[in-house]
Amino acid sequence: MRSDMIKKGLERTPHRALLKGTGVPQNQMDKPFIGVATSFTDLIPGHVGMRDLERFIEKGVHSGGGYAFFFGIPGVCDGMAMGHKGMHYSLPTRELIADMVESVAEAHRLDGLVLLTNCDKITPGMLMAAARLDIPCIVVTAGPMMSGRGQSGRKYSFVSDTFEAMARYKAGVINDKELQVCEDNACPGMGSCQGLFTANTMAILTETMGMSLPRCGTALAVSALKRRIAFASGEKIIELVQNNITPRSILTRKAFENAIRVDLALGGSSNTVLHLLAIAHEAGVDLPLELFDELSKDTPQLASMNPAGEHFMEDLDIAGGVAGVLKQLGSKIHDTPTLFGLTTHQLAESIQNVDEEVIRPLGNAIKKEGGIAILTGNIAPKGAVVKQSGVSATMMNFEGTARCFDAEEFAMAAIMEGKIKSGDVVVIRYEGPKGGPGMREMLAPTAAIMGMGLGDCVALITDGRFSGGTRGPCIGHISPEAAEGGPIGLVKDGDRILLDIPNRSLELLVDEATLAARRSEWTAPQPKIKGGWLARYAKVVTSAHTGAVTTAD
């Protein structure tokens, strides 16, 4: 075992002394040492219930014949970080998390890891570490929140009933009392936000790829089932260590393709493009951005999930969960191994009934293409991402007038002051991985556009990114970003921009000679943040089309 390096032999006497100082009995020294990386925090609803799950994981580890050690991993709540300086830190924490898990596991020679996680950047950071370390690992996602409940059985969700409600209030659509009802009911308790936002999408894809146990991706945070999954995961990690089953044997190219298919079929978060690319990078798997679009054209959207649709995570879980989606996709899913023993086809076969009101069959799809599309054009030569499942039919083709803003705050102020009109294309730039730094999410401006009733007449493009809660004609991840001299930095107010999602095109309707003249005059801006670790991050982070990973250069 790896842990023998800190507990076997005469020369490890000091190491054993330190282990005994933590309370490890002598008779436990021969057992596998299992690290439980936990992102528990009082700051995030999706993580406040983890103390309970930690207990069940620990019980499972000891029942399976191992010895558990807990260590903490930081978490940032994107909702709380939204709209201010804090959002600069969100995506970069993904790299910190991967580095921290690697550091602790390697320094203490742990034999295996249980990765207890839930929210947006934390789950991909944990998976990146698992792929990088390639020691036995299992992921436990803490589960989605129940939907809020209001009068007449109305269901509330975090995004549409807080961020979009702000704009509806500003526009006079709802009053003080109605706004307060939204605030009080949107988040009824523990768990990740109720719709198919980034956290829940990544939990589903983790299960799809075979890195967590069945139903882990959809079982509610408050459920006894989640406790049982936590216990079983603690037991399973011992079996994985004994059989030396490691993440790279699970995280294959075909497993990533399955994850993309499921994401497309459900209409999940566009952030998964960034995260799957980054996890694949750590796993040594070639996963080009173009693959997402190739699969999207051959993967119908089978579910209508909040925020762009009607169903919540609790509905998806009851309808069949991940296994139900795999069953409906049928032969489009590769038969790949999972760490829990069943192959993906066996998992699909294990479910008898699927609620086809929630997860439709291929012959009765909601849309003929998947939820994500990759666009290219003279604004985005290396690609851009749109969650087309959240775009209305009237906005799939759109030509509008550019309104340019060099930071999210400037755009948000213009939207809330009523300065954005029908026919505009809001351009938010210098918000990419390097220029942000940190590639901030643009949930506040996109929610404001929707809440003010502009979702069918205004588009938004950015080299930043969007929350999984975003809906509407919002194009992100534009590469190269403005801070690297990308063409989005050359757009001027009044330029015409053509969006053609069916033909995967995003074009600035300005002739090349004019663009060349603008390019010759362009100069790189001064960094927005010049101190702290974000300044270092900005120097080593790569473009969005590569997953915004950091390099050693």
Catalytic residues: 467
Rounded Cα gap, residues 59 and 61, in angstroms? 6
Say whether 511 sits in a helix, a strand or coil. coil
Taken in order 435, 84, 464, 429, the sign of the CA dihedral is negative
Find, among 450, 449, 448, 479, the residue nearest to 464 by Cα.
Answer: 479
Rounded Cα gap, residues 291 and 302, in angstroms? 20
Any residues with CB less than 8 A from the CB of 346 and at least 6 apart, and which? none
Say whether 177 sits in a helix, a strand or coil. helix
With beta carbons less than 8 A apart as the criterion, state whether 199 and 123 touch: yes
Say whether 58 sits in a helix, a strand or coil. helix
Find, among 187, 170, 188, the residue nearest to 179 by Cα.
Answer: 170
Rounded Cα gap, residues 445 and 409, in angstroms? 9
Strands, sheet with 424-428, edge to edge from the N-terminal-most edge strand: 372-375, 384-387, 474-476, 459-462, 424-428, 397-405, 496-500, 505-508
Straight-line distance from the first to the last Cα atom of the chain, in angstroms, rounded to the nearest whole number: 33
Say whether 64 sits in a helix, a strand or coil. helix
Rounded Cα gap, residues 352 and 445, in angstroms? 43
Q: If you write DSSP's letter for every residue of 74-110 in order, what string do you get?
A: ----HHHHTTSGGGGGHHHHHHHHHHHHHHHHHHTT-
Say whether 200 sits in a helix, a strand or coil. helix
C-alpha angle with apex 190: 156 to 125, nearest 5 degrees? 110
